[in-house]
Amino acid sequence: MNHRRRAHIAGVSVLCVTVGSFAVNPAIAAPSTSDTPSPAAASCNGDKNVDIFNFNDFHGRIATGANLFSPVVEDRNANGADKVLLLNAGDNVGGSTFESGSLNDEPTIDMLKAAGVEANTVGNHEFDKGWKDLADRVVPHIGTPYLGANVYEKGTTTVAAPLKASTVIVKDGVRIGVVGAVTHDLPSLVSPAGISNLTIGDPVKAVNAEAKRLKSEGLADIVIAEYHEGAADGSGDAASQGGNFAPIYATTSSDVDLVFNGHTHQVYSWKDNAGAPLLQAGSYGQHLAKVKVAWDSQQKKLCSTDASIIDPAKTPADDPTIAKISSIYDDAKAKSDSVGATVIGHASAPITTPSNESDQEFGANVRDRESTMTNMVADMFKDTLGKDDPNFIGLQNPGGTRASLLDTDITYKQAAQVLPFANTLTTTKITGAQFKKVLEQQWQRDENGEVPSRPYLQLGVSSNVTYTYDESRKEGDRITSVWVNGKPMDPNATYTVGSGSFLIAGGDNFTELAKGSKPVDSGKIDLSAWVDWIKAHKTLKPDFAKRAVSLTTSLHEGMSKDATFTLGKPAAKAVAPDTVDFTSKGAVANTTMKAQIVQGTTTVDVATAPVKDGSSSVTVTVPTDKGLVSGPATVLFTFPDSGTVVRFAAVISVPTVGNSTPGGVSTPGGSDATRSGVTSGVTGPGDSSRSNRPGLPSTGV
């Protein structure tokens, strides 16, 4: 077994390709090797040759199909179909462009059949419409094996039919075993109700077990692992990656000769720890992974694997297969255009996801920043579901907002691209303390307590909610204040939260929402509600006021003369990278921050400070003779350019005229409001030990 692995390591090579302005850098891909074979490879006669193509995260990008599959078709024409294999690593459907999604992704399935895909690995988006839709419609329609070695009948280790753990495909006389597995984060990525009859196992263990079976029983000559999971950062190197990718890299068995990844939309060509080529081809039909395999039929061993990332064809091939693929797209576009051309509203300016215009068609790859688009969807949930409750909270998960509104006219098609998953609008009741925990869960942990591929997800919240956080604090205690309608959230009060059914059921690892009481499914589909909301508003305007802001302060145990506050500066090694400035398209850059102390009807200006690169620091001193009195107050920070408002609950100490003792600021729980200086405290129910730490006011979460 070891001599096989050494032989094929020697054959790895890299192709540097450019797509637009993006280059796959050989420095970060699999290291190139000399064309001179190693001694082991020299004794290997690669008389059997197969070109293996792989793509991932297609997401119904049928407009790119003719270009994407042209290199495959041309290879078949040049070398024969018996020497070419086409596979994918999941997410063929779901999160699709309007041309496919509006037609239930039937055009995508038809296109993959026409392209000659011979095995598919199940991705999380194949489960968007539930197990029944996947099992009863998608798999039978596509007609070729769908693989999910770690998708089991509930409570068992039996692969749930019609999925299979693997399939064996013979090419040029070589028996090629293909094993597929989905990310073990699947339960957090789809509606739990849709997979309630399934158990999702460890993908690496499932792949290793099936690869061992295929090899030990003599069923396959070589084995390919298709993981719908991947590295979070394709610009680094394989060994340094963490999260769900780490065990793929480190512990995939040497029974596996070739590894393809998906899910994280990265581009890389590496080797795993055992030496097997390890590739991911980006997403949306932008690249193909290609591995040329040479097999010695006499010695029954793998001679070489030549791995590369290649571009789609600039011009579609002149071929009957490509002509059929093009006709599938043309037909789907005509049908969907007829449905989607109606103008339903207008936008005064672009309303976008964090990566702005690049997400016009379902990018949404940036999910760790606040955006005008996701906040607006949260506002829609509040307005639609909580009209009679001013304290109702709308929430939106960033992965559920899949496109931007860039044009002045908003069509039905563009609205549908924003919310393509057909969630029903659902409410649940949770306490203020639970809502704080929901916000804490933006720093992600899966059901096993592990950090997933995306370590931080920035929720969109409705405009009546603002909060502060400090990532330098201990995980689970980073949310330092929550305000609803300008008042501290009561940890013991009950609040109604509304969102799509996916999030309310605990999706995206926001498990605290699933613990809410009295969940109610409104029966309204998110797209229908969204369209109605846009029509009612007529003209939408992006809101650049931040609803979540990082705030750190000099307040700590003990006393200090003044209080220094820093807003918008990410913590060292932060996974929450936001500043007080949006990255959404057209967002204003803040230039000034103003600090005030508010007490009852009295508002006193105390300081101003410049904003640079999205952050600002200011020192606050309590003034005399301004109408303030010692006692509770709010330190208010405003950013006039964007309209962002940040609140800090405080107890102030106002010095009397002629008294040499300076005034100060403390939060509720400070040890002595009549003493000079600054202290800070966090208190919660039954937790008096936290009274002198920075954070939440004792009157709220």
Question: Strand pairing of 258-260 and 119-121?
Answer: unpaired
- Tell me what pLDDT residue 305 has: 97
Distance of CA 328 to the CA centre of its chain: 30
pLDDT averaged over every residue in the chain: 87
Q: Which of 26-35, 265-274, 426-435, 593-602 has the lowest mean pLDDT?
A: 26-35
569 against 654, higher pLDDT: 569
522 against 68, higher pLDDT: 68
- Tell me what pLDDT residue 561 has: 62
Q: Indicate the DSSP class of residue 472.
A: T
Q: If pLDDT is split at 50, 70 and 90, which confidence band does 232 have?
A: confident
Burial letters 102-140, b for 16+ CB under 10 A, else e: bbbbebbbbbbbbbbbbbbbbbbbbbbbbbebbeeebbe
Q: Which of 74-88, 209-223, 330-344, 646-660 has the lowest mean pLDDT?
A: 646-660
- The Cα–Cα gap between 175 and 99 comes to 37
Highest mean pLDDT among 233-247, 271-285, 522-536: 271-285
Q: Which of 2-11, 148-157, 437-446 has the lowest mean pLDDT?
A: 2-11
- Tell me what pLDDT residue 252 has: 98
Is residue 194 within 8 A of residue 246, CB to CB? The reply is: no
- The Cα–Cα gap between 434 and 443 comes to 15
Residue 70 has pLDDT above 50, yes or no: yes
- Tell me what pLDDT residue 526 has: 87
Burial letters 469-478, b for 16+ CB under 10 A, else e: bbbebeeebb
- Tell me what pLDDT residue 421 has: 79
Looking at the chain, the whole-number percentage of residues with pLDDT higher than 70 is: 86
- Tell me what pLDDT residue 482 has: 98
Q: If pLDDT is split at 50, 70 and 90, which confidence band does 170 have?
A: very high
Is residue 527 within 8 A of residue 419, CB to CB? The reply is: yes
Is residue 583 within 8 A of residue 633, CB to CB? The reply is: no
Residue 698 has pLDDT above 50, yes or no: no
DSSP element (H, E) containing 413 = helix 412-418
- Tell me what pLDDT residue 682 has: 28
Residue 669 has pLDDT above 80, yes or no: no
Q: Is 382 exposed, middle or buried (0-12, 13-18, 19+ CB in 10 A)?
A: buried
635 against 701, higher pLDDT: 635
- Tell me what pLDDT residue 36 has: 38
> Across residues 204-230, what is the average pLDDT?
98
Helices 526-537 & 372-385 angle (0-180, nearest 10): 90
- Tell me what pLDDT residue 678 has: 32
Q: Which of 291-295, 456-460, 465-469, 685-689 has the lowest mean pLDDT?
A: 685-689
CA dihedral 250, 254, 258, 260 (to 10 degrees): -30
- 274-302 pLDDT, tens per residue? 999 999 999 989 999 999 999 999 999 99
Highest mean pLDDT among 500-509, 554-563, 594-603, 681-690: 594-603
Residue 120 has pLDDT above 70, yes or no: yes
- The Cα–Cα gap between 283 and 262 comes to 8
The 10 Å Cβ neighbour count of residue 31 is 13
- 486-512 pLDDT, tens per residue? 999 999 999 999 999 889 989 999 999
- The Cα–Cα gap between 546 and 540 comes to 17
Burial letters 321-360, b for 16+ CB under 10 A, else e: bbeebbebbeebbeebeeebeeebbbbebbbbbbbbeebb
* Distances 231 to 181, 266, 272, 405 between C-alpha atoms, Å: 15, 7, 12, 30
* Tokens describing residue 113: 């059949």
Q: Which of 170-184, 257-271, 355-369, 533-547 has the lowest mean pLDDT?
A: 355-369
Q: Which of 302, 392, 236, 209 is nearest to 1 (CA)?
A: 302
In terms of pTM, does the model score above 0.85?
no
- The Cα–Cα gap between 568 and 234 comes to 28
- The Cα–Cα gap between 480 and 566 comes to 14
Distance of CA 250 to the CA centre of its chain: 24
